């Protein structure tokens, strides 16, 4: 059973260019999106039980290769990186299209795993959208997953309840953080990983047209980034810590909040 895990590289720390309002990626180290690590961990435990091959699929600049090596060190078998300038600036729809195009090219993929959301944009869109492009069912917010023959049995973590569902394979599953504790690769894992293949494909290799990917393939765009406006009149308390505390305590008491 072959498994694909969609992986995104996210900046280790969030910094904003305060004049342009864009996310600064230059000079900030990229790491695997935390939730995607849970997806990789799940893939590896499933492989240990059911066999098969795990392929990581990602889109981004060349340095995403290091991030993918981390995933390979966790136990994936190979990685594919869609690396092309024309893919830059993609929104979730264009991203999902490119990822799905790669997955269609891989042999006999039975299960596609994604993290529930990314730490940088956090839209939660890509999983369901990849599933749609592949024409397979999606099971989101999964906290436990079993493979039973040609079916999966997944426990979904919803607001007040857990819902257990069955779906036929192939299927796409998005996982929540609580599903497992991702393994940390060992030193030897890291060196083994660097021997595994990371294929870099450009848009042309995948037959992707310029208007299907990147900014052109993205129906949404950000037109403005701005600081949130003050919603309340904030009373700044000044003076010694003792004065501040007692005046605040008095105010809270007089409002009946204490």
Partner 1 sequence: MDFSYTKEQEVLKNVVREFCDKEVAPRAAEFDRTAEFDYSIIEKLSKQGLLGVIMPKEYGGMGGSHVDQAIICEEIGRDSLTAMVATNMAWYMAYECLVVGTEENKKRWIRYLFDGKKMGAHAGTEADAGTDAASVRTWAKLEGDEWVINGTKWFVSNLGKADFYFITLRTADSRYGGISTILVEKDTPGMTIGRRVDLISNRAISNGELIFENCRVPRENLIGRLNKGFLDMMVLYDVIRLYLAIGAVGIARGALEESLKFAQERRQFGKPVGEFQMIRAMLADMATEIDAARLMTYRALDMEEKGLRHTKETSMAKLYASEIADRVTYKAVQIHGGYGLTMEFPVQRYWRDARLCSIGEGTSEIQRLIIAAELLKSQNIVLDSALD
Partner 2 sequence: MKEMDRYRGVWVFAEWKDSQVIKGSLELLSLGRGLADELQVELSVLLMGDRLGGIPEELIYYGADVVYVIENPILERYTTSPYHRILCDLIRENKPEIVLFSTTHLGMDLAPRVACELKTGLSAHCVDLKMDKENRQLLQICPYFDYMATIVTDTRPQMATVQPGITSPPRRDDSRQGKTVRVEFKIEPGDIKIVEVEAKKEEDTEKIEEADVIVAVGRGLKDMRLAEELASVLGGVLGATQPITEAGLLQESRMIGQTGKIVQPKLYIACGISGAGQHIVGMQNSGTIVAINTDEKAPIFKVADYGIVGDVSKVIPALIESLKG
Interacting residues toward partner 1 by CB under 8 A: 29, 31, 65-66, 69-70, 73, 184-191, 193-194
Residue of 139, 145, 179, 208 interacting with partner 2 (CB under 8 A) = 139
Identity of the residue, 63 or 166, whose beta carbon is nearer to partner 2 in the bound complex: 166
Identity of the residue, 107 or 160, whose beta carbon is nearer to partner 2 in the bound complex: 160
Report the candidate in 174, 156, 172 with the shortest Cα–Cα distance to residue 164: 156
Site track for partner 2 across 13-52, x = CB under 8 A: -x-x----x-x----------x------------------
Residue of 52, 123, 144, 192 interacting with partner 2 (CB under 8 A) = 123
Residues 177-236 contacting partner 2, CB under 8 A: 177-178, 218-236
Specify which residues 5 forms β-bridges with.
56, 113
Q: Hey, CA dihedral for 110, 91, 93, 104, is it positive or negative?
A: negative
Q: Write out the H or E segment, with its range, that includes residue 65.
A: helix 64-74
Residues 71-100 contacting partner 2, CB under 8 A: 91-93, 96
Window of 2-10, 69-77, 165-173, 190-198 that interacts with partner 2 by CB under 8 A: 165-173
Identity of the residue, 167 or 190, whose beta carbon is nearer to partner 1 in the bound complex: 190
Q: Using the structure block, give the residue that is written with the tokens 């779906």.
A: 167
Q: Which of partner 1, partner 2, none is residue 246 near (CB under 5 to 8 Å by kind)?
A: partner 2
DSSP structural state of residue 184: P
Q: Which of partner 2, partner 1, none is residue 178 near (CB under 5 to 8 Å by kind)?
A: partner 2
Residue of 31, 128, 147, 183 interacting with partner 2 (CB under 8 A) = 128
Identity of the residue, 132 or 199, whose beta carbon is nearer to partner 2 in the bound complex: 132
Q: Which of partner 2, partner 1, none is residue 26 near (CB under 5 to 8 Å by kind)?
A: none
Q: CA end-to-end span of the chain, whole Å?
A: 59
Identity of the residue, 66 or 247, whose beta carbon is nearer to partner 1 in the bound complex: 66
Identity of the residue, 169 or 190, whose beta carbon is nearer to partner 2 in the bound complex: 169
Q: Which of partner 1, partner 2, none is residue 186 near (CB under 5 to 8 Å by kind)?
A: partner 1
Q: Which long-range contacts (CB under 8 A, 24 or more apart) does 106-109 make?
A: 106/2, 106/4, 106/55, 106/80, 107/2, 108/2, 109/2, 109/3, 109/4, 109/55, 109/170
Give min distance, CB of 27 to partner 2, in A: 17
Give min distance, CB of 34 to partner 2, in A: 7
Give the C-alpha distances (Å, rounded to integers) separating 108 from 75, 138, 249. 19, 17, 65
CB 76 within 8 A of CB 87: no
Q: Which long-range contacts (CB under 8 A, 24 or more apart) does 69-72 make?
A: 69/190, 69/193, 69/194, 69/198, 70/31, 70/32, 70/185, 70/193, 71/5, 71/7, 71/32, 71/36, 71/37, 71/40, 72/193, 72/194, 72/196, 72/198
């Amino acid at each position: 059973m072959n498994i694909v895990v969609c992986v995104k590289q996210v900046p280790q720390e969030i910094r904003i260019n305060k004049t342009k309002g864009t996310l600064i990626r230059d000079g900030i180290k990229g790491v695997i999106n935390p939730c995607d690590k849970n997806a990789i961990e799940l893939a590896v435990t499933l492989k240990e039980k059911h066999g098969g091959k795990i392929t990581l699929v990602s889109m981004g600049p060349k340095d995403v290769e290091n991030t993918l090596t981390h995933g390979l060190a966790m136990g994936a078998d190979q990685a594919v990186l869609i690396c092309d300038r024309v893919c830059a600036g993609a929104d979730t729809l264009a991203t999902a299209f490119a990822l799905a195009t790669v997955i269609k090219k891989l042999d006999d993929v039975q299960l596609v795993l994604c993290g529930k959301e990314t730490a940088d944009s956090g839209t939660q869109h890509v999983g369901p959208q990849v599933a749609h492009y592949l024409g397979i069912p999606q099971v989101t917010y999964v906290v436990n997953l079993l493979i039973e023959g040609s079916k999966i049995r997944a426990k979904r973590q919803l607001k007040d309840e857990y819902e257990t569902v069955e779906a036929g394979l192939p299927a796409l599953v998005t996982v929540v953080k609580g599903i497992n504790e991702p393994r940390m690769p060992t030193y030897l894992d890291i060196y083994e990983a660097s021997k595994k293949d990371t294929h870099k494909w450009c848009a042309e290799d995948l037959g992707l047209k310029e208007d299907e990917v990147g900014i052109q393939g993205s129906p949404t765009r950000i037109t403005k980034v701005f600081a949130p406006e003050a919603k309340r009149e904030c009373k700044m308390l000044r003076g010694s810590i003792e004065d501040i505390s007692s005046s605040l305590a008095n105010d809270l008491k007089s409002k009946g909040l204490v």
